[in-house]
């Protein structure tokens, strides 16, 4: 390889390193904000679900539209992915989880409908010919629970209309900065078992955001006005919204963490390649200088 080509590769590699280092810094800032938001929301979500468990003994939840089992209908899958790439295997892990779930359950293309939050999941569903009843791209980092209602209202309407017999949600569970895990959970129809699973997944095992274990005897007795049924009718849709919204926050924190780690790896690799190319350039230049000196020496000797 010529010296000029090696030098151009070194310059190109260093430019790439500059870009990836900048992206790493941006992702680090976004990651800290997303992590804090996801972790602080866990207490709110956990407490809201605990309230429902306390009210469950006050009324019959079996006949509520969101807890009633459906005999027929499709399986609705809410897929939460990122809009951008460069985040390692984050999105592919979620999509693989969806494919494995469909394979294990024996679901055909006509048996499922998708609700896609994020570009990667939407492209996955469209390219494979799946029915997409709702999709939303470029969801703001600052979206709050109230603004999120337009998404979960469609999820609830899909279930209450009987089009879907159950609703699953596929997302990336944030464990730590360097560890994220793809998961798929059932959210509708609601049941005590599902609520316990959601509570368990929301509550961190340790750290300042950890919530102490509460036994069934510690659940407070509520004075319910006007009556338990009205409270349940108002509370259940909100709990579904909280459950889906919290999964979005977890996915956002996981996305920025994965991208920061991926960009750091890319920066380190670019620096390594630049070092190797510089060494190669110096060797080639030294060889050229040695060759020129040899030629000059040979010319002088020939003239004598």
More confident call, 263 vs 46: 263
Q: Mind listing the pLDDT tens digit for each residue in 27-66?
A: 777 777 777 776 676 676 667 666 666 665 555 566 677 7
Q: Which of helix, strand or coil describes residue 201?
A: helix
Residue range 185-205: mean pLDDT, rounded = 68
The predicted pLDDT at position 22 comes to 84
Cα–Cα dist 25/260, whole Å: 7
- pLDDT > 70? residue 200: no
Q: Is the pLDDT of residue 255 over 80?
A: yes
Show the tokens assigned to 87. Answer: 């985040």
- Contact 69/106 with Cβ under 8 angstroms? no
Both tokens of residue 119? 């570009």
Residue 172 corresponds to which tokens in the numbers above? 């990336």
The mean-pLDDT minimum among 80-84, 105-109, 200-204 falls in 200-204
- Cβ-count burial of 64 within 10 angstroms (0-12 exposed, 13-18 middle, 19+ buried)? middle
Residue 138's pLDDT band, with cuts at 50, 70 and 90, is confident
Arithmetic mean of pLDDT, 152-169: 86
With contact defined as beta carbons under 8 Å apart, do 206 and 213 qualify?
no
């Amino acid at each position: 390889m010529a010296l000029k080509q090696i030098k151009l590769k070194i310059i190109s590699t260093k430019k790439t390193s500059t870009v990836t280092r900048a992206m790493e810094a941006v992702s680090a800032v976004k990651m800290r904000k997303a992590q804090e938001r996801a972790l602080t929301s866990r207490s709110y979500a956990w407490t809201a679900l605990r309230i429902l468990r306390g009210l469950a003994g006050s009324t019959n939840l079996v006949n509520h539209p969101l807890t009633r089992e459906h005999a027929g209908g499709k399986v609705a899958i809410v897929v939460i992915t990122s809009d951008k790439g460069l985040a390692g295997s984050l999105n592919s892990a979620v999509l693989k989880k969806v494919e494995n779930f469909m394979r294990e359950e024996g679901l055909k293309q006509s048996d499922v409908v998708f609700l896609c939050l994020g570009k990667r999941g939407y492209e996955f569903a469209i390219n494979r010919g799946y029915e997409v009843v709702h999709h939303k791209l470029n969801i703001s980092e600052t979206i709050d629970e109230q603004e999120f209602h337009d998404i979960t209202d469609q999820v609830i309407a899909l279930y209450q209309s009987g089009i879907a017999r159950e609703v699953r949600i596929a997302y990336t569970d944030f464990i730590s900065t360097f560890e994220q895990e793809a998961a798929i959970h059932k959210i509708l129809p609601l049941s005590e078992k599902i609520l316990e699973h959601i509570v368990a997944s929301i509550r961190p095992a340790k750290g300042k955001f950890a919530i102490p274990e509460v036994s069934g005897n510690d659940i407070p007795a509520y004075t319910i006005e006007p009556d338990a049924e009205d409270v349940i009718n108002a509370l259940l849709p909100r709990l579904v919204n909280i459950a889906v919204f919290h999964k979005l926050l977890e996915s956002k924190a996981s996305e920025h963490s994965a991208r920061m780690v991926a960009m750091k790896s890319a920066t380190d690799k670019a620096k390594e390649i630049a070092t190797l190319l510089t060494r190669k350039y110096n060797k080639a230049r030294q060889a050229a200088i040695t060759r020129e000196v040899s030629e000059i020496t040979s010319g002088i000797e020939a003239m004598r």
